[in-house]
Structure 1
């Protein structure tokens, strides 16, 4: 039987286009050990990603549950899109079941930006989280509640480019830091106008490449901050299970 006390620990995994990161967090989100990372395999098939995860965590301390952030659209633990890993390989894969069967623990899977958002937001007002990595991740939360996921990365930002193509890692390498920063200024202006957010959080590997002054309500976050969202993902599950209408008498 699963431990239901506050001593529950959670293996939190962040699958990215360039690296896979993992750590153990408490139910309250406190990091219990330093997170580790490995390069994302190429090709990043489900079998290869699972192999890398198992090697990455082989020396980890005991844990009771698993949370996973995945770079694509996820529905009920099943992968719908994986633009930076290969949708053809991933579409229809029940990652929750695949990992649960392999690790022998209950697993919850969410979009990676959503997981980051759950780990960093203040819970006050409309908060937007973006991640600047291989692609462009987004999460929207209202008073700490995660809103339905939007794959904003695939929305056109110019006549010819989506956000992924405009400011993703390939664009950064192709056009260089100076032009990429000009594009990021433009993107932030668009986001500010469209969402009228109370606070914007920027994470991902390329967040460190921003060179212009940010508004006072914009905050740079780290992978270390975001991966703590694995705890909140399970808190949301527990809150849902314990709602009166879901408790059998």
Structure 2
């Protein structure tokens, strides 16, 4: 939408009720990946999905609730209250212009509960539907035969995230700086929710083995995840239209 004139928007809006909202973060993502990794990935995945389902892309939420990572230089954090209000106002504006279906492509764990709260509340309006793709957790269910390092492949800036960035933004990945860093914090009570800072787990901002990331793995993860999101839209939200979103 941000690249459209208002007249172009009016004509384009006639063809769809679906808007995709990318949501990311501005924080440490290992020494080998940019601070904006989450937002960059969210925006790119949103674009790949939109191309296939005739959706429009709304405002990108550039930064999120990253207070857990504030020990690392460059991290920008938005309070939960500010993030929630900004998102709420964004949705109300989009609703005003006729959107009814809202898909959040979110790549930051700290944003997940805030988006959940907003979505439940927003869906009280008749005719409104919301869904969230918690992307880094989402791809865990679709990585069989691709990743090699087990559960830690999906930890922060590890094999999966590094691979996705190598595919989507190869020029922004500095492999001379990547590391293999297991978590330094051993949680003896994983059944109890506690709130340690991110620096308790890692010195570099990476948890896991980034050095086995590859462009090929990233391409496979992206393709598989985008296919799954499109399948959801076509078979759950728009079954009558099949491959064509109205």
TM-score norm. by structure 1 comes to 0.40
**Greater strand fraction, Structure 1 or Structure 2:** 1
Higher relative contact order by CA 8 Å / sep ≥ 6: 1 or 2?
2
**Greater helix fraction, Structure 1 or Structure 2:** 2
